[in-house]
Structure 1
Amino acid sequence: MVNTAAVILLAALAALVIIGLIALAVRLTQRPRNTLIGGGLGPALIEQVLHLKATGQFDQAVILVRGETGLSHRAASRLVRKIHAP
């Protein structure tokens, strides 16, 4: 005979795993990582980033881009590195 306690335990574990996967899927679909929020990169923001980079304030430029776009730190750093003066 099958042990009923083991069956109940496995069913509870399976339910927890399914609930966790559903919660993860909902979280990931709310706002995918590294998507721009708001207006994205406008000419004013690019000008500010270029000024900050020119004065040696790379970290401040990254913080500015993160605040304006909602990008992760890594993505904002990459973006700031790629922005160059024309």
Structure 2
Amino acid sequence: MEYLRIILSVTLFVCGCYFSYDLFSHGFHWLLLLLVPLCFYAAYRIWPDKVDDSPWLEVVGDIIEWPIRAMIAMARMLVGVIRLIGD
């Protein structure tokens, strides 16, 4: 069951990467704008918490976590800017 979650998570991550490429290279589309963060978030949530002691799977897990961490950092910066403007 763990490997099924890993495969599904990697597939969703690759779909999110493709959709983000398609969003910027072939023209803007609202559906793609919604699918990109949705795919990355789903890949992050589906990834198992504890993986076998494989260093490769740990690296893949870190790569899958990166877009979520980037989105959280951007959201925090946006909130900080809004707070500065409000003061």
Alignment TM-score > 0.5, same fold: no
- 1 or 2, which has the higher helix percentage? 2
What TM-score, normalized by structure 2, do the two folds share? 0.29
Rg larger for: 1
TM-score by length of 1: 0.29
